[in-house]
Amino acid sequence: MNPSKLVSRLIAAAVSAQKNAYCPYSRYPVGAAVLTESGRIFAGCNVENASYGLSLCAERVAIFSAIARKQLGLKAVCVVANSARPCGACRQVMFEFSTRDTELYLVDLNPRTRRQKVRRTYVHKMLPEAFDPLSSGLLPAHPQNLIKARSSISAKRPKARRK
């Protein structure tokens, strides 16, 4: 499939998910979509709760939906909101299931005009000095949850200890 059509589908899925956001407290609807290594797209929206700590961001909803369907490697992530920027927790979750090549599309969607401004970057650039379960030795050399080992650390990674 044409890469630009794939990105358009990813953005459309995130925009559609944003419409389902449950955000009565912040009134800040966010939609997200992830493209997995297998080519499937999973979408999510933010879901708030009166006990704020129980709320869940759109990015994690989309990622966890993919994980629940055994789609473990992320090829691209898209976030749609007015001034779309993933929070720190979402950046760490995205990092765990990404490679250095995982693209991140931040789509600032103006709620009044519906105009989109798309910025493309990479997940690994959004969280400098991220906690990496591979380099920390928490995961074995070929973890099931990561499709491709991060080439920059795979040679330096300590071996996981077994108990």
Whether the CB-CB separation of 41 and 13 falls below 8 Å is answered with yes
**If we measure between CA atoms, which residue out of 100, 155, 146, 156 comes closest to residue 126?**
100
Whether the CB-CB separation of 124 and 152 falls below 8 Å is answered with no
Measured from the Cβ of residue 20, the count of other Cβ atoms closer than 10 Å reads 15
Given the residues 37, 48, 59, 129, the one annotated as active site: 59
Note if 59 is an active site residue.
Answer: yes
| C-alpha distance from residue 19 to each of 14, 16, 25, 84, 131 (Å) | 9, 6, 16, 15, 32
**The residue to which tokens 């389902």 are assigned:** 20
In whole angstroms, give the CA distance from residue 91 to residue 25: 23
Active site residues: 59
